[in-house]
Amino acid sequence: MRSSKLKVAHLTSVHNPSDTRIAHRECFSLAQAGYDVVLIAAGQNPSLPPGVRFVGVPKPRNRFERVIVTIWNVYRAARRERADVYHFHDPELMGVGLALRAHGARVVFDVHEDIPKDMLDKPWIPGPLRRPTSFLTNLVLRAFQRSYSAIVTATPETAELFSAGNTVVVCNYPRIEELQQGDPIPFADRARSTVYLGNINELRCVEEMVGAMNSPDLTAGARLVLAGSFDDAETENRVRAMPGFRRVDYLGFCPRSRVASVLGNARAGLLLFRPAANLEYAMPTKLFEYLGSGIPVIISQSLPCSEIVKQHDCGIVVNQSDVDDIARAMSYLIDNPQIAEEMGERGRRLITERYQWGSEAAKLTSLYARIA
């Protein structure tokens, strides 16, 4: 028998089923608001918050299979759910969204980043085709924006891609309760380590971070904790062969239940990105999670949001291409736990006062109340 609750189905063919924004913020908040929430994604047995049901489709072996087979599997699973609202998270699911809309459902398109700019940095798109692809992507977004019930974006700047009046900004701010530990470890008693949490790839400077671990400027006994999954085996094999990897503690994928304890035993968090077109207005989740957990951030100057760190003195801005500069920042915060703790406390206060998920959850549930 169908539940009396309105059913919401979140769809992704690209993201990990345990994705923080999708599963642990949006789906969880909607479940708390009384919706019957299902997440349809590629994979199995993810770690999900209470109230969120999972429907898995087979993981693709490659990009071609994902674009052809996985999208079709996600669509079929979505139709079987007969949801009142479908909320999809990948541009490659735009056609799925249109098809579901044609069947009378309400459909939300969640735009995590500036998609046209993202096309300019895709390594699988031949260089000469990137600008034409970016241009065409922009045209497609503008052409179909009114076809959906609503568009949700992660930043105000991304919202400017859309002229329709059905756009709502829901920022990637953290749920503070997820990051709090009952008995925090004093910085002076923590491991002499810095941590990186998230997907591990070239864009996020994994080679520069591991390279810094072999720098002559690195303090004695320093360790790097990598908590995440490598995007591909080739990158993982190359990084594991680097000399600095001997000073790395690789934890693999980190479930949400472990995030607070992993961050709570580090003296700083690393947020490094190589320059990329779609980072102009990026506000990475990790920035707010590090600060919300009370640790200072070592952030790359390539990110405009590094101004937040400068302005509030809650971390150190570095040249992300200079491994010695990264090593010096690591060393300073490891060797000066009191300063690191003071920076972390300023960051925590900033998040508590200004950048909490609660305000964003209210915008999301208000949107659903309006369309559902």
Residue ranges of domains in the chain: 7-173+356-371, 176-354
- Determine the distance from the C-alpha atom of residue 212 to the mean position of all C-alpha atoms in its chain, rounded to a whole number: 24
Burial class (CB in 10 A: 0-12, 13-18, 19+), 80: exposed
176-354 matches 7-173+356-371 in CATH topology: yes
Q: What angle do CA 327, 317, 183 make, to 5 degrees?
A: 80
Residue 288's contacts (CB-CB under 8 Å, 6 or more residues apart) are 172, 173, 174, 351, 355
Which of 45, 49, 149 minimizes the C-alpha distance to 98?
149
pLDDT band at 283 (very low <50, low <70, confident <90, very high): confident
Which of 155, 184, 178, 179 minimizes the C-alpha distance to 168?
155
DSSP helix/strand/coil, 110:
strand
Burial class (CB in 10 A: 0-12, 13-18, 19+), 311: exposed
Q: Is the pLDDT of residue 2 over 60?
A: no
What number does CATH give the domain 176-354? 3.40.50.2000
DSSP per-residue letters across 313-337: T-EEEE-TT-HHHHHHHHHHHHH-H
CB 37 within 8 A of CB 51: yes
Instruction: Measure the CA–CA gap between 371 and 151, rounded to whole angstroms.
Output: 12
Residue range 20-46, pLDDT digits in tens = 999 999 999 999 999 999 999 999 888
Residue 298 has a pLDDT of: 98
Burial class (CB in 10 A: 0-12, 13-18, 19+), 330: buried
Residue range 317-364, pLDDT digits in tens = 999 999 999 999 999 999 999 999 999 999 999 999 999 999 999 999
Strand order in the sheet with 269-271: 248-252, 223-227, 193-197, 269-271, 297-300, 315-318
Residue range 243-263, pLDDT digits in tens = 999 999 999 999 888 999 999
DSSP helix/strand/coil, 286:
helix
Strand order in the sheet with 7-11: 52-57, 36-42, 7-11, 85-88, 106-111, 150-153, 167-169
CB 136 within 8 A of CB 313: no
pTM of the model: 0.85
Share of the chain above pLDDT 70, in %: 98
CB 338 within 8 A of CB 301: no
Q: Is the pLDDT of residue 1 over 50?
A: no
Which of 94, 122, 134, 124 minimizes the C-alpha distance to 12?
94
Neighbours of 102 (CB within 10 A): 10
CB 19 within 8 A of CB 49: no
- Residue carrying the six token digits 């929430």: 37
CB 109 within 8 A of CB 92: no
What number does CATH give the domain 7-173+356-371? 3.40.50.2000
CB 84 within 8 A of CB 7: yes
Q: Is the pLDDT of residue 299 over 70?
A: yes
Beta strand 193-197 pairing with 223-227:
parallel
